[in-house]
Amino acid sequence: MHNAAFRKLGIDAVYVRFEVHPDELGDAIRGLSALGIQGANVTVPHKTDVMVLLEELTPEANAIGAVNTLVREDGHWIGHNTDAPALARSLDEAGVVLPDARVVVLGAGGAARASVVGLAQRGAAQIVVAARRAAQSEQLVADLAGVCADCELIASTLDEESLRSAFRDASLLVQSTSATLSRDTASAFAASLPLEALPASASVVDLVYKPRETTVLMRARARGLHCVDGLGMLLHQGALAFELWTGRTAPFEVMGAALEGP
């Protein structure tokens, strides 16, 4: 989508992908600087670890505790997080009502943190964070309580009884773990969720975009629930990053068409 946008606007740039081992993240950031690269995205598993390697963080990225976009400015790196506004924008597009929403977020990683902040900023009334271990969700809630002061944050776990209780009052379920990425875990993870406890009016979004129709979304759709895949969030965070790197308005339709493919 970025290369399509560069071509559309006649910008002499190219977007390429580098696989970086966690132990070599510092070398990678120094390499970007040495090569004169002006911007980058950071994804799993580097979104948190990269923060200490940057000279500056935006207030939102610092609050979320995760970075997904790097911008080189005046010789130093600034860490941004475009995931939080991107999720809200994608849900707006899908017709999901966010003010006063009661949300359950599955996971406690960088994507979950961004989801909590983005949804709280858009007026969600309550967000239950469910992680594998109670300590994970409790830490996330403690870290974000000040930023999300107007939203009730509740720490929970992924055990069936806790999920069933949280699902009963939920208007939105956000699947932010990597469990639906892997064929080895996707089916078992989806089967472990008591989606039948969700109200018929609830919406379900899976932030994973490959596969686009995840096992969680397949189960939710079979129940007749309103489903939102992860491609919209990917597009919106990409458009926001593009504008940070170039100072130009992102050609949104061109980028969307590139993601959809031929």
Q: Please choose, from the candidates 48, 72, 74, the residue with its C-alpha nearest in 3D space to the C-alpha of residue 61.
A: 48
What tokens appear for 187 in the block?
Answer: 């089916």
Instruction: Please report where in the chains the tokens 């941004």 appear, as a residue.
Output: 80
Where does residue 261 fall: left (phi above 0), alpha (psi -120 to 50 degrees), or beta otherwise?
Answer: left
What tokens appear for 247 in the block?
Answer: 């100072």
Radius of gyration of the chain (CA): 18
Dist. CA 61–CA 82, nearest whole Å: 8
Task: Tell me whether residue 235 is exposed, middle or buried, using C-beta atoms within 10 angstroms of its C-beta: 0 to 12, 13 to 18, 19 or more.
Answer: buried
What tokens appear for 240 in the block?
Answer: 């926001």
Instruction: Please report where in the chains the tokens 């100072």 appear, as a residue.
Output: 247
- 114 half-sphere exposure, CB direction, 13 A CA radius: 27
Instruction: Please report where in the chains the tokens 């969720």 appear, as a residue.
Output: 193
> Going edge to edge, which strands form the sheet with 56-57?
39-41, 69-73, 76-80, 56-57
> Is 47 an active-site residue?
yes
Catalytic member of 40, 42, 46, 47: 47
Task: Tell me whether residue 2 is exposed, middle or buried, using C-beta atoms within 10 angstroms of its C-beta: 0 to 12, 13 to 18, 19 or more.
Answer: buried
Question: What three-state secondary structure class fits 33?
Answer: helix
Active centre residues (catalytic)? 47
